Amino acid sequence: MKEFHSRRRVEFADTDMAGIVHFARFFVFMETAEHELLRALGAEVHFEHEGRTVGWPRVEASCRYLSPARLGDVLDVAVRVLKRGRRSMTYGFTIRCAGRRVAEGRTSTVCCVLDQPTGLEPIPIPASLAEKLGEYLATPAESAADRTPESAKL
Amino acid sequence: MKEFHSRRRVEFADTDMAGIVHFARFFVFMETAEHELLRALGAEVHFEHEGRTVGWPRVEASCRYLSPARLGDVLDVAVRVLKRGRRSMTYGFTIRCAGRRVAEGRTSTVCCVLDQPTGLEPIPIPASLAEKLGEYLATPAESAADRTPESAKL
Amino acid sequence: MKEFHSRRRVEFADTDMAGIVHFARFFVFMETAEHELLRALGAEVHFEHEGRTVGWPRVEASCRYLSPARLGDVLDVAVRVLKRGRRSMTYGFTIRCAGRRVAEGRTSTVCCVLDQPTGLEPIPIPASLAEKLGEYLATPAESAADRTPESAKL
Amino acid sequence: MKEFHSRRRVEFADTDMAGIVHFARFFVFMETAEHELLRALGAEVHFEHEGRTVGWPRVEASCRYLSPARLGDVLDVAVRVLKRGRRSMTYGFTIRCAGRRVAEGRTSTVCCVLDQPTGLEPIPIPASLAEKLGEYLATPAESAADRTPESAKL
C-alpha cells in the first residue's frame, strides 16, 4: 500500500497544561497531511469546478492516542486512502515520532460545493483527481486489516 | 438516561475558510462540556491525589458531523456517561443548534498521574468521584443503543 | 466611559505546557468580546451591505500580559471604543479575573468588503452602526489616558 | 543586522470565515520562529536550570497586518533581537509571502521559573544563552529604526 508522508515539529501552541500535545491538534495534523497529499497530486484543497467553489468537509473523524507527543518532537504523519467513493474519501493516518506510534486516525470527507447559501452540496469527485487519488488506494484486504479507529455504526 | 448540558456560542476563531466551524473545534467543545460536568460534580479537571497531579488524557476521540455550525450559532452540548471503568471513562456527546443535530461524538479518557517524567501512569478513579459520575451512567442497553461513533477495533 | 463586559471561563484547550493560558488566545478573547458588543448593538459581525459581504479585518493588535490566567478562571473582558474613524475602529480591552488585572489589549479593525477576489476593500462604516458604536466612545481625554498598549509608529 | 528565518505553509485550520489567516495565528507563527531560533542556538524552549523549569512567558505582543495570507501561502518569518535585557528579550518579526510584506510583529518575553505554585518568577538569562542570543542583536540605531509595532506606554 502506497503511503504519503508529511512531517512537522510540535509547536508550543500545540501543547496543553498536561505538558503534551492537545488531543484536538492531531486532527489538524491529519487534515494538513491530507491537504499536502492533494497538493502533491496537483490538486487545490478548495478549487473551482464549473464556476463553483468545491471543498472537502469532513463527515467523520476519529483518533486513537497511543503515546504522548511533546514540544519539539518531529512527527511523521503517514496518509493512505482506505476508501474512494464516488463523492467521498476515507483516509487512514499513522502518526509516529522516531518510529514510536503516537496516534492512529481516520477521516471521511465529502466532495462538496461550498457556496450554497442553504448548506453544502455533495458532488462527484472530478474524474482526474479521483484517478490520481487511486494511486494511494489500499486493496480491500489492506483496508479491512487497517488498524485505524473505524466507526461501527455509520 | 441523565444528561448534562453545556451551552456555547460559535466564535469567529472557531470558523474556517469554508465558512463553518472547523471540524477539530468540536473536540474542544466536547472536552469543555466534559470538564463542566466534572466541575458541576465538584471535581477539578486536574487535581492532587496523594501528592500527585492527576488528569484525564484522552485515549480515543471520534466525531460524526451531521450539519454545519456557523458564526453566532448557540450550541447545546449534551454529555452522558456511556461507560465507567475502574480507570477510564467513556462519554457520549450530542451537539445541537436550535434542536437541529450538528454533531455526535465520543471520547474515552483515562485517569492518569501526569507528573511522571517517563510518561502518563493510569490510576483508579478516586471512589468519591466515580460515585458521582455514576449518576450520569447510561444503562448497558442505553449504552449499546447509543448512536455516537464507536470504534470497532479497539 | 461606557464599557461593554463579556465573560468567559478558561478552557483546557486555552492552556499551554507552562500551565497558563497561551498568550495568543487572549486575542481570541478580545475579538469575541468585540463581536458580542456588535451583537448587543444589533449588528452582525459579517453583514450584507449593498449586496456585498462586509467584515472587520484587523490591521493591528497588541496585548500586554500582567498576570497569568489558568484553567477554570472566569475572565471578565471589558471593551471600550478608543477611536471611531470613518472606516476603522480602535477598541481597548481590559481582562480581569476576580478583580485582578490579567491583560490589557488594543485592536484596530477596518470595515471592509470581503468578497473581492483581489483583496479586501475598505468602505465607510454604515451610518446606523457608527452611531450605535458612538455610545461606547471614549472622550479624547479618556482615550489619551488609556493604558492599553498603543503602537507608536503606525 | 543578523536575522533568523523560519518558513511555514498556511494550513486550513489557520484560516477563518473571511477566507484569510486568522489574526491570532500570526502570534503562533512568531512564537514558533522564536523557538526555532532558540533551538538553532542549541537551547531548549523549556529547560532545567539549577533543578527548576525555566521558560519564556510573554509580557507583551503586538502585530500589524499589512496584507492577507491565504491557504497554501508559504510564509517566511524573519526574527531579530531588538533588545536583550538581563532577564528579558524583545524580538522583532517580519512575515513575508513571496517577498510581499504580510505582517510585522514584536514580542517581549521574560526568562522565568515556571514551577512556582504562586506564579512566575523572573530570573537572569543564563550567561551562555545570553551570549548566543547576542549574535542576533540589532545595534541601538537599528533597533530605534525598527518598524515593528512598539508599545508607547509600557
Length of chain A equals 154
Whether the per-residue pLDDT at A151 is higher than 60: the answer is: no
Q: For position C152, what pLDDT does the model report?
A: 41
B37: part of which helix (H) or strand (E)? helix B25-40
Query: Mean pLDDT for chain B?
Result: 92
Which of A55, A9, A15, A62 has the alpha carbon at shortest distance from A35? A55
Whether the per-residue pLDDT at A16 is higher than 90: the answer is: yes
Average pLDDT over residues C125-129: 93
B25: part of which helix (H) or strand (E)? helix B25-40
Least confidently predicted of A109-118, B121-130, C112-121: C112-121
Position of cell 504562586? Answer: D118
* For chain A, the helix, strand and coil percentages under 3-state DSSP, each to the nearest 5: 20, 45, 35
Query: Mean pLDDT for chain A?
Result: 92
Query: SS3 sequence, chain D?
Result: CCCEEEEEECCHHHECCCCCECCCHHHHHHHHHHHHHHHHCCCCCCEEECCEEEECCEEEEEEEECCCCCCCCEEEEEEEEEEECCCEEEEEEEEEECCEEEEEEEEEEECEEEEECCEEEECCCCHHHHHHHHCCECCHHHHHHCCCCCECCC
Residues of B in contact with D20 (CB under 8 A): 17
A24 to C13: CB separation less than 8 angstroms, yes or no:
yes
Q: Looking at the partner chain, which of B11, B28, B46 has a beta carbon nearest the beta carbon of C71?
A: B46
Whether the per-residue pLDDT at D1 is higher than 90: the answer is: no
In this complex, how many residue pairs, one in chain B and one in chain C, have their CB atoms less than 8 Å apart?
32
Instruction: Quick: pLDDT tens for C78-90.
Output: 999 999 999 999 9
Which of D62, D57, D68, D56 has the alpha carbon at shortest distance from D105? D62
- Strand, helix or coil for residue A43: coil
Residues of C in contact with A20 (CB under 8 A): 17
Q: Looking at the partner chain, which of A16, A24, A70 has a beta carbon nearest the beta carbon of C16?
A: A16
**How far, in Å, CA of D35 to CA of D43, rounded?**
9
- Strand, helix or coil for residue A34: helix
Which of D138, D88, D140, D80 has the alpha carbon at shortest distance from D104? D80
Architecture of domain A4-24+46-145: Roll (3.10)
Q: For position D31, what pLDDT does the model report?
A: 98
Question: CB A46: neighbour CB atoms within 10 A?
Answer: 18
* For chain C, the helix, strand and coil percentages under 3-state DSSP, each to the nearest 5: 20, 45, 35
Whether the per-residue pLDDT at D153 is higher than 70: the answer is: no
Average pLDDT over residues B81-86: 96
- A153, closest residue in chain B (CA to CA): B149
Q: For position B153, what pLDDT does the model report?
A: 40
Q: For position B47, what pLDDT does the model report?
A: 87
In the chain, the amino acid numbered C66 is L
B31: part of which helix (H) or strand (E)? helix B25-40
**How far, in Å, CA of B40 to CA of D111, rounded?**
37
Q: How far is B134 from chain A (nearest CA, A)?
A: 25
CATH code: domain B4-145 is 3.10.129.10
pLDDT bracket for residue C149 (50, 70, 90): confident
Integer CA distances (angstroms), A24 to A15, A65, B60, C13, in order = 10, 11, 11, 8
Q: How far is D126 from chain C (nearest CA, A)?
A: 19
Cell numbers placing C37: 458588543
Position of cell 493588535? Answer: C61
Instruction: Quick: pLDDT tens for B6-24.
Output: 999 999 999 999 999 999 9
Residues of C in contact with A70 (CB under 8 A): 17
Average pLDDT over residues B25-38: 98
Q: For position C117, what pLDDT does the model report?
A: 67
- A28, closest residue in chain B (CA to CA): B24
Q: What is the largest CA-CA distance in chain B?
A: 48
Cell numbers placing A132: 490520481
Beta-bridge mates of residue A7:
A76
**How far, in Å, CA of A102 to CA of A120, rounded?**
33
For B116-135, give the DSSP string.
Answer: ETTEEEE-PPPHHHHHHHHT
**How far, in Å, CA of C13 to CA of B131, rounded?**
27
Least confidently predicted of A127-136, B111-120, B134-143: B111-120
- Strand, helix or coil for residue C109: strand
In the chain, the amino acid numbered A119 is G
Q: How far is B14 from chain D (nearest CA, A)?
A: 8
Residues of B in contact with A57 (CB under 8 A): 18, 20, 23, 65, 68
Residues 6+ apart with CB under 8 A from B45: B35, B38, B39, B55, B56, C12, C71, C72
* pTM exceeds 0.90 for this model: yes
Beta-bridge mates of residue D104:
D64, D94
**How far, in Å, CA of B138 to CA of B134, rounded?**
9
Contact A87, A122 (CB under 8 A): yes
pLDDT bracket for residue A154 (50, 70, 90): very low
Q: At CA A53, angle to CA B16 and CA B11, rounded to 5?
A: 20
Q: Read off the DSSP letter of residue B84.
A: E
B35: part of which helix (H) or strand (E)? helix B25-40
What is this model's ipTM? 0.93
- Strand, helix or coil for residue C80: strand
Q: For position D117, what pLDDT does the model report?
A: 67
Indicate the domain borders of chain D. 4-140
- Strand, helix or coil for residue A130: helix
Query: SS3 sequence, A106-123?
Result: EEEEECEEEEECCEEEEC
Q: For position C49, what pLDDT does the model report?
A: 84
In the chain, the amino acid numbered A109 is T
Q: How far apart, in Å, do the first and last CA atoms of chain D sit? A: 25
pLDDT bracket for residue B114 (50, 70, 90): confident
Give the A-side interface with C, CB within 8 Å.
12-13, 15-20, 22, 24, 70-71
**How far, in Å, CA of D6 to CA of D33, rounded?**
6
Residues of C in contact with D154 (CB under 8 A): 64, 149
Whether the per-residue pLDDT at B154 is higher than 50: the answer is: no
Position of cell 500527585? Answer: B52
In the chain, the amino acid numbered D26 is F
- C18, closest residue in chain A (CA to CA): A17
Integer CA distances (angstroms), C59 to A61, C41, C62, in order = 35, 23, 11
Average pLDDT over residues A64-74: 96
Q: For position C141, what pLDDT does the model report?
A: 86
Position of cell 525555566? Answer: D54
Q: Looking at the partner chain, which of D13, D22, D71 has a beta carbon nearest the beta carbon of B24?
A: D13
Instruction: Quick: pLDDT tens for D53-98.
Output: 899 999 999 999 999 999 999 999 999 999 999 999 999 999 999 9
Average pLDDT over residues A17-30: 96
Q: Read off the DSSP letter of residue A147.
A: -
Cell numbers placing B62: 471520534
Whether the per-residue pLDDT at C154 is higher than 80: the answer is: no
More confident residue, B69 or D1: B69
Q: Read off the DSSP letter of residue C131.
A: H
Beta-bridge mates of residue B96:
B76, B101
Cell numbers placing B39: 466541575
More confident residue, A148 or B7: B7
Architecture of domain C4-140: Roll (3.10)
pLDDT bracket for residue D150 (50, 70, 90): low
Contact D27, D106 (CB under 8 A): no
pLDDT bracket for residue A106 (50, 70, 90): very high
10 Å CB burial of residue C130 (0-12, 13-18, 19+) is middle
Q: For position B139, what pLDDT does the model report?
A: 87
Average pLDDT over residues C64-77: 96
Integer CA distances (angstroms), C82 to C39, D75, D148, in order = 19, 32, 22
Residues of C in contact with B35 (CB under 8 A): 11-12
Q: Looking at the partner chain, which of D16, D24, D70 has a beta carbon nearest the beta carbon of B16?
A: D16
Q: How far is B136 from chain A (nearest CA, A)?
A: 23
**How far, in Å, CA of B64 to CA of B105, rounded?**
6
Q: For position D147, what pLDDT does the model report?
A: 75
